Amino acid sequence: MTASIEKFTVRFVNKGDTYGRDFCLTHDKDEPMIEFYDARYPHTEFGQFVSRYYVETLRGHTGGLILDGGIPAWTVSASGMEQVQNLIEQSY
């Protein structure tokens, strides 16, 4: 599943899904992951990869989220993270 939140494409990676550079890895763990891509840069079909987290790491997170401290634009606002939380609750 993917969703657009702010300037990011948010992609859920479940067991059996591919991920990583050129999508050459297969996720073999039961715990799903969430990937963030900057949709402004078409490096992949989702945008430029920014960061990846296990769902449980983000579950219940309140406030914004800095995806990369070196690039201020790669920050998800508190309202964006609320949308991510809603997606988590709907999906898991």
Full pLDDT tens readout for the chain, 92 residues = 999 999 999 999 999 999 999 999 999 999 999 999 999 999 999 999 999 999 999 999 999 999 999 999 999 999 999 999 999 999 88
- pLDDT for the residue numbered 90: 94
- pLDDT for the residue numbered 92: 85
Report the predicted TM-score, pTM, of the whole model to 2 decimal places.
0.94
- Residue 88 and residue 79: Cα distance in Å, rounded? 14
Number of neighbours of residue 41 by Cβ within 10 angstroms: 12
Q: Which domain holds residue 67?
A: 2-91
Number of domains in the chain: 1
- pLDDT for the residue numbered 54: 98
Number of neighbours of residue 16 by Cβ within 10 angstroms: 8
